[in-house]
């Protein structure tokens, strides 16, 4: 079978499974065709949901648009907990927009609007984005040696085929940021691949070189900004695609705590694993609870939910330098109670 260089462009909308966690903002979007569902986010098709614009005034077809919705679901150890973290989806969406708006000089992105076209009950947690033809690779950049990169280094002295100096300690900053792509696995874990294999998968080596360059620039920009605000951006993952004109664009979410490892700079110390800025409360509690880290993940107690929510809001405020309330106001966010039709 010939290997298609691109994913995305599903031929038609697929059958919709029931939501993993019943929540008003997810079920209220159920009339839109679902394009993709992740552990935490959903993407819906908005093409054809634009009244009076099909075809548009010029007679050309409207630009294909999607609605990307971030839920309040949280996963630890690859399992989604049944308890939501209030406002987590809005924090992540607000952070993504912060970075999209500041990195356009590095590479184009899929953001169209956080207000126009976003259903009222999803305001703050959803974005209207350009539909892209997604490249079939995950674009990971590592500034510090941790996680699977640390394991690969210990086993082979290299990460993603890139040899590294001997004697690095766990969590240590790397001499320079590394581009360490992986495959997009539909189920299970993504597989680390070297640059040459990523280039073959994408089918265009020059394009892959631009993807690597843009990825490293995005990481370096985000890491420098975060470091000035007391946060270490250890590593991050991007997804790229091509728009209708063939322009390279970054899609998905950018430099959020779900797509990145953020560590508090205070107390950073190489030689062991670092606490996660956002999820450490849940992980510490989960470990102490005796959960064996296999699905199903347990419900999270109220004090751990509150502490975790506060960390997400703190991450937003530290990185953006503005109150989280400002994001909610700018996007016309309504309370969940209001969205549910209560008082
Ligand atoms: C797309 N995925 C995988 C959210 C993240 N702009 C786009 N155009 C076409 N397709 C996609 C995007 C984007 N972003 C990306 N699936 C479709 C990542 N998803 C999984 C579900 O949660």
* Token pair of 10 as six digits: 């599903």
Q: Cα of 42 to ligand 1 centre, how many Å?
A: 8
Which of 29, 35, 43, 240 should be mutated for ligand 1, with most atoms under 8 A from CB? Answer: 43
Cα distances (angstroms) measured from residue 223 to each of 122, 215, 218, 260, 327: 30, 12, 9, 11, 22
Q: Cα of 292 to ligand 1 centre, how many Å?
A: 31
9-132 classified as CATH 3.90.1150.10:
no
Domain map (residue ranges) of the chain: 9-132, 134-278
Q: Cα of 4 to ligand 1 centre, how many Å?
A: 17
Q: Cα of 214 to ligand 1 centre, how many Å?
A: 19
Give ligand 1 pocket residues (Cβ under 6 A). Answer: 8, 35-38, 41, 43, 66, 68, 110, 129-132, 134, 239, 241, 251-252
- If you ran DSSP here, which 8-state letter would residue 190 be given? P
Q: Where are the alpha helices (DSSP H) in 103-172?
A: 147-156
Tens digits of per-residue pLDDT, 315-326? 999 999 999 999
For residue 95, which of 134, 74, 125 has the smallest C-alpha distance? 125
Query: Atom 5 in ligand 1: which residue has the minimum CA distance?
Result: 252
pLDDT at 294: 95
Atom of ligand 1 nearest to the CA of 184: 3
Query: Atom 18 in ligand 1: which residue has the minimum CA distance?
Result: 252
Inter-residue contact 35 to 45 (CB < 8 Å): yes
For residue 142, which of 168, 167, 166 has the smallest C-alpha distance? 168
pLDDT tens, residue order, the chain (343 aa):
333 333 333 333 343 444 444 444 444 576 899 999 999 999 999 987 765 455 666 677 888 999 999 999 999 999 999 999 999 999 999 999 999 999 999 999 999 999 999 999 999 999 999 999 999 999 999 999 999 999 999 999 999 999 999 999 999 999 999 999 999 987 778 899 999 999 999 999 999 999 999 999 999 999 999 999 999 999 999 999 999 999 999 999 999 999 999 999 999 999 999 999 999 999 999 999 999 999 999 999 999 999 999 999 999 999 999 999 999 999 999 776 555 444 4
Q: Which residue has the tokens 């004697």?
A: 167
Q: Where are the beta strands (DSSP E) in the chain?
A: 7-8, 34-37, 41-45, 65-70, 75-76, 79-80, 108-109, 111-113, 126-130, 133-134, 137-144, 158-159, 162-163, 173-179, 182-183, 231-238, 240-242, 248-250, 260-264
Which of 134, 135, 254, 256 should be mutated for ligand 1, with most atoms under 8 A from CB? Answer: 134
Q: Cα of 44 to ligand 1 centre, how many Å?
A: 9
Q: Which residue has the tokens 């019943």?
A: 22
134-278 classified as CATH 3.10.290.10:
no
């Amino acid at each position: 079978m010939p290997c298609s260089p691109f994913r995305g462009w599903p031929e038609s909308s697929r059958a919709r499974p029931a939501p993993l966690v019943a929540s008003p903002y997810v079920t209220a979007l159920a009339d839109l065709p679902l394009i993709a569902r992740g552990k935490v986010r959903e993407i819906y098709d908005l093409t054809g949901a634009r009244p009076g614009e099909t075809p548009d005034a010029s007679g050309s077809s409207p630009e294909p648009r999607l609605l990307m919705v971030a839920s309040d679901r949280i996963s630890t150890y690859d399992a989604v907990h049944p308890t939501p973290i209030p406002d987590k989806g809005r924090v992540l969406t607000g952070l993504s927009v912060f970075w999209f708006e500041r990195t356009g000089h590095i590479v184009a992105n899929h953001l169209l609007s956080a207000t126009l076209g976003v259903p009222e009950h999803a305001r703050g947690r959803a974005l209207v984005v350009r539909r892209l033809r997604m490249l079939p690779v995950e674009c990971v950049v590592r500034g510090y040696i941790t996680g699977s990169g640390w394991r690969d280094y210990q086993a082979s002295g290299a990460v993603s085929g890139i040899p590294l100096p001997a004697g690095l300690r766990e969590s240590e900053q790397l001499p320079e940021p590394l581009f360490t792509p992986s495959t997009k696995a539909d189920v299970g874990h993504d597989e680390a691949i070297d640059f040459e294999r990523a280039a073959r998968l994408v089918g265009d080596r020059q394009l892959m070189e631009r993807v690597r360059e843009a990825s490293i620039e995005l990481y370096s920009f985000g890491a420098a900004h975060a470091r000035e605000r007391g946060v270490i951006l250890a590593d991050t993952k991007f997804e790229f695609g091509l728009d209708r004109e063939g322009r390279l664009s970054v899609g998905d979410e950018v430099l959020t705590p779900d797509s990145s490892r953020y560590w508090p700079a205070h107390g950073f110390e190489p030689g062991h694993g670092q606490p996660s800025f956002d999820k450490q409360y849940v992980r510490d509690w989960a470990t102490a609870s005796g959960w064996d880290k296999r699905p199903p993940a347990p419900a999270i107690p109220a004090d751990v939910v509150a502490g975790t929510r506060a960390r997400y809001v703190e991450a937003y405020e530290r990185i953006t330098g503005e109150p989280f309330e400002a994001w909610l106001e700018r996007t016309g966010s309504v309370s969940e109670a209001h969205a549910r039709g209560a008082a």
